[in-house]
Amino acid sequence: MTETTQNYYYVESDRDLLKLLFDQLPCQSLEDLLQLLDQKHIASFKDILDYASGPDCPNDLALTIEVAMDRLRRTDMRRSSDWASSSDWASSSKIGNYLANKLLGQKQEQFWVLYFDQQQNLLGEKMLFQGTLDRSWVHPREIFRWAVVYGCASIIVAHNHPSGALTPSDNDLELTKGLKKASKIMKITFLDHFIIGGGEYLSLRERELF
């Protein structure tokens, strides 16, 4: 557990959380902040979440952003469609279509994890790896580290095949088996592994591949 992760146990107010967030940004003034937003092409809250989910955002800063955005979401009971109720995340078809739309047109392989609570509400989503994926690079340690941070009950993993092919590779199958074993040790339910390609999806659980 990092020092920043430990800090969240002592953050009692929104003001404290905002101070922690700005302490992690390389900004000394509002002008510096505006320049940073321009450099990162951040013009909306969605852009902030995309940046926090991406590989360029430092882990401690990403965690602070996730916690801050979660507090913002809790101030509005309408909630956005991206953070929907359990009924929207209960079926594999809805999750598969969401992921297929999310990863449509990506030219590089990306590995995403969705984190859920006991009621199948989405707690967070994180892109953990990007590039040529193999079993040795996509390490369960990083996947379950964020599972502990979110305090989740279950996870779904997904990655895309830029070629559009949905057939799982031997590496895909080995990774899935490894995650299933690790999930039992961590006592976190491993729900599914989706492969995305050409706007379509394949659920390894539906195909009974693990």
What sign has the CA pseudo-torsion 198, 131, 152, 185?
positive
Question: Is it the case that residue 74 has pLDDT exceeding 70?
Answer: no
Question: Is it the case that residue 151 has pLDDT exceeding 70?
Answer: yes
Q: Find the mean pLDDT for residues 41-66.
A: 85
CB neighbour list of residue 108: distance below 8 Å, 6 or more residues apart: 130, 131, 162
Element housing 123 (H / E): strand 122-130
Question: Is it the case that residue 83 has pLDDT exceeding 60?
Answer: no
Question: Is it the case that residue 79 has pLDDT exceeding 80?
Answer: no
**Which residue in the block uniquely carries the two structure tokens 């926090």?**
52
Q: For the whole prediction, is pTM greater than 0.75?
A: no
Phi, psi of 153 (to 5 degrees): -105, -25
Nearest C-alpha neighbor of 96 from the set 2, 173, 5, 166: 166
pLDDT digits (tens, 9 = 90+) for 195-210: 999 889 999 999 998 8
Nearest C-alpha neighbor of 108 from the set 130, 136, 139: 130
Question: Is it the case that residue 11 has pLDDT exceeding 90?
Answer: no
Element housing 62 (H / E): helix 59-74
Nearest C-alpha neighbor of 157 from the set 147, 167, 170: 147
